[in-house]
A and B are shown apart, each in its own frame.
Chain A
Amino acid sequence: MTNQPDLHERLRQARAREGLEIGPNGQKGLPTGPWGIGLRAGVEVVSALVVGIGIGWALDRWLGTWPWLFLVFFVMGSVAGVLNVYRLFNPRRRSRVT
Chain B
Amino acid sequence: MAKEGKTIDALSQFELTPFLGFFGQSIGFSQSNAFMLLALGLTTGFILMAAARGAMVPGRLQSLGEASYEFIHGMVTEQIGDEGKKYFPFVFAIFMFVLFGNLLGLLPYAFTFTSHIAVTLTLAVIVFVTVTVIALMRHGMHFFSYFFPEGAPVWLAPIIIPVEVISYFSRVVSLSVRLFANMVAGHVMLKVFATFVVLLGSLGAVGPFVAVLPLSVNIALVGFEFLVAFLQAYVFAILTSIYLHDAVHLH
How far does the alpha carbon of A40 sit from the alpha carbon of B239 in the complex, in Å?
12
What residue of chain A has the Cβ atom nearest to residue B178's Cβ? A43
Q: Which of B7-15, B21-29, B56-64, B161-169 lies at the interface?
A: B161-169
- Chain B residues with Cβ below 8 Å from A29 are 75, 78-79, 238
What residue of chain A has the Cβ atom nearest to residue B248's Cβ? A19
What residue of chain B has the Cβ atom nearest to residue A72's Cβ? B162
- Chain A residues with Cβ below 8 Å from B251 are 92, 94-97
Interface size on B, residues (CB 8 A): 36
Q: Are B231 and A43 within 8 A (Cβ)?
A: no
Q: Are A84 and B245 within 8 A (Cβ)?
A: no
Give the Cβ gap from A24 to chain B, nearest Cβ, in Å: 16
Q: Are B169 and A51 within 8 A (Cβ)?
A: yes
Task: Decide yes or no: A48 and B238 within 8 Å by CB, A17-B82, A28-B78, A29-B75 being known contacts.
Answer: no
Any B CB within 8 A of the CB of A6: no
- Chain A residues with Cβ below 8 Å from B163 are 76, 79-80, 83
Give the Cβ gap from B175 to chain A, nearest Cβ, in Å: 8
Q: Are A51 and B166 within 8 A (Cβ)?
A: yes
Q: Are A83 and B167 within 8 A (Cβ)?
A: yes
Interface residues of B in 119-151 (CB under 8 A from A): 149-151
Contact of B166 among A17, A19, A48 (CB under 8 A): A48
Task: Decide yes or no: A84 and B170 within 8 Å by CB, A19-B79, A29-B75 being known contacts.
Answer: yes
How far does the alpha carbon of A30 sit from the alpha carbon of B243 in the complex, in Å?
13
How far does the alpha carbon of A76 sit from the alpha carbon of B160 in the complex, in Å?
9
What residue of chain B has the Cβ atom nearest to residue A55's Cβ? B166
Interface residues of B in 145-194 (CB under 8 A from A): 149-151, 159, 162-164, 166-167, 169-174, 177-178, 181
Any A CB within 8 A of the CB of B235: yes
Any B CB within 8 A of the CB of A20: yes
Chain A interface size, as a band, is 20 to 34
- Chain B residues with Cβ below 8 Å from A30 are 235, 238-239
Contact of B82 among A18, A50, A97 (CB under 8 A): A18
Report A81-98 CB contacts with B as 1/0, cut-off 8 Å.
101100100001011110
Q: Are A94 and B174 within 8 A (Cβ)?
A: no
Contact of A94 among B75, B171, B249 (CB under 8 A): B249
Q: Are A76 and B166 within 8 A (Cβ)?
A: yes
How far does the alpha carbon of A44 sit from the alpha carbon of B251 in the complex, in Å?
19
How far does the alpha carbon of A31 sit from the alpha carbon of B239 in the complex, in Å?
11
- Chain A residues with Cβ below 8 Å from B178 are 39-40, 43
What residue of chain A has the Cβ atom nearest to residue B76's Cβ? A19
How far does the alpha carbon of A83 sit from the alpha carbon of B168 in the complex, in Å?
11
Q: Are B174 and A43 within 8 A (Cβ)?
A: yes
Residues of chain A whose beta carbon lies under 8 Å from any beta carbon of chain B: 17-20, 27-31, 39-40, 43-44, 46-48, 50-52, 55, 73, 76-77, 79-81, 83-84, 87, 92, 94-97
Sample (27) of A-B pairs whose CB atoms are under 8 Å apart:
A17-B81, A18-B81, A18-B82, A19-B245, A20-B249, A27-B242, A28-B78, A30-B238, A43-B177, A43-B178, A47-B172, A48-B167, A48-B173, A50-B170, A50-B173, A51-B166, A51-B170, A51-B172, A55-B166, A55-B169, A77-B166, A80-B163, A80-B164, A84-B167, A84-B170, A84-B174, A95-B151
